[in-house]
């Protein structure tokens, strides 16, 4: 656990030093507003996702996790697609009641590949889940194509269907962090077989995130075509929804997470983790997570 904590803190420091994605997006859109940009929609995928093969947390971050490959025919590209993920089976439970461990699809945020989210997968394993953490196309070892909102939605659905085939008798849950929260909300709004959804550090929409920055006074909304409009979809989520935010999240402000929660329908719960940042909330709020998962999802 000490090694895991050190990896998380190192990752938080690196992320704290990096360029935050709303800022370059705001600047790029401002430039497009002044000069025009025919490929604006395509460029937004690059600005929003900032895809990378890089990872933080050390090369051993994913030790003990199994490489998983998902192949499917992409309706978006008309080609065969190949996704890479990491599988972490739930630890055996003492005094098990005989129920199979639930499975979870983990959807990460921008910039870093899935190995960087290994510590979050381990936190969910500690809470009793088997976890599939996915890299979208454009990240890590998944297909090297420019990412986009549409492709990320398709990738998440492909991974969800893969879990259904591989573990047909187990309840399935969704977890989305940051940008992955919007992807999780879109998927949860489109399916009816999820047992529950968790989003952490999530937002209402990309225009709202841009509007919350110092560039928010610029009239950029009409230029944003990859909008990740989670707030318009969250009311269509039929299963229990847990929204988690850190009180000290300076990248995605807590009020955006609260507005997303307010737009959702019951059953739902909101957790504000005191002192949590955009990067360490899942660790600082582990006890709150445990209580909410038990109460909202009815899991032991």
What pLDDT score was predicted for residue 20?
A: 44
Tokens of 82: 């190949």
What pLDDT score was predicted for residue 78?
A: 95
- Contact between 231 and 254 under an 8 Å Cβ cutoff? The reply is no
pLDDT in tens, 151-166: 999 999 999 999 999 9
- Contact between 85 and 140 under an 8 Å Cβ cutoff? The reply is no
| Position 72 pLDDT exceeds 50 | yes
Separation CA 15–CA 7 (nearest Å): 12
| Strand residue runs (E) in 57-129 | 66-73, 80-88, 103-107
Better-predicted residue by pLDDT, 93 or 232: 232
What residue ranges define each of the domains in the chain, with the CATH number in brackets?
2-93+100-297 (3.40.50.1820)
What pLDDT score was predicted for residue 64?
A: 87
Separation CA 232–CA 133 (nearest Å): 26
What pLDDT score was predicted for residue 57?
A: 53
Separation CA 19–CA 142 (nearest Å): 24
| Position 1 pLDDT exceeds 70 | no
| Position 121 pLDDT exceeds 50 | yes
For residue 39, give the 3-state DSSP assignment.
Answer: coil
Average pLDDT of the residues in 88-100: 70
Distances (CA, A) of 99 to 92, 271, 300: 11, 27, 10
List, in sequence order, every residue forming a beta bridge with 70; answer none if it has no partner. Answer: 83
What pLDDT score was predicted for residue 218?
A: 60
Phi and psi (nearest 5°) for 28? -65, -40
What pLDDT score was predicted for residue 10?
A: 43
Average pLDDT of the residues in 105-118: 91
DSSP secondary-structure letter at 230?
G
Separation CA 294–CA 289 (nearest Å): 9
């Amino acid at each position: 656990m000490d090694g895991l904590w050190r990896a998380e803190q190192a990752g938080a420091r690196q992320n704290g030093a990096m360029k935050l994605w709303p800022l370059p997006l705001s600047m790029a859109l401002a430039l497009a507003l002044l000069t025009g940009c025919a490929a604006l929609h395509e460029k937004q995928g690059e600005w929003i996702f900032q895809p990378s093969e890089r990872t933080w947390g050390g090369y051993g971050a994913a030790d003990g996790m199994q490489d998983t490959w998902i192949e499917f025919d992409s309706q978006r590209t008309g080609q065969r697609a190949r996704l890479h993920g990491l599988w972490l089976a739930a630890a055996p439970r003492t005094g098990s009641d005989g129920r199979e461990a639930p499975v979870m699809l983990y959807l990460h945020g921008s910039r870093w590949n899935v190995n960087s989210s290994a510590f979050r997968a381990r936190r969910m394993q500690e809470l009793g889940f088997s976890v599939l953490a996915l890299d979208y196309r454009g990240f890590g070892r998944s297909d090297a194509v420019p990412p986009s909102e549409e492709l990320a939605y398709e990738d998440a659905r492909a991974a969800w269907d893969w879990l259904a085939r591989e573990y047909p008798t187990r309840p399935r849950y969704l977890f989305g962090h940051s940008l992955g929260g919007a992807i999780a909300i879109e998927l949860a709004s489109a399916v009816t077989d999820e047992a529950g959804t968790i989003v952490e550090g999530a937002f209402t929409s990309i225009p709202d995130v841009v509007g919350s920055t110092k560039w928010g006074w610029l009239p950029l909304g009409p230029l944003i075509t990859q909008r990740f409009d989670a707030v318009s979809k969250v009311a269509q989520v039929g299963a229990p929804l847990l929204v988690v935010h850190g009180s000290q999240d300076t990248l995605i402000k807590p009020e955006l997470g609260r507005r997303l929660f307010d737009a959702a329908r019951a059953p739902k719960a909101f957790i504000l983790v005191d002192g949590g940042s955009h990067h360490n909330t899942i660790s600082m709020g582990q006890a709150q997570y445990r209580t909410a998962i038990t109460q909202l999802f009815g899991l032991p």
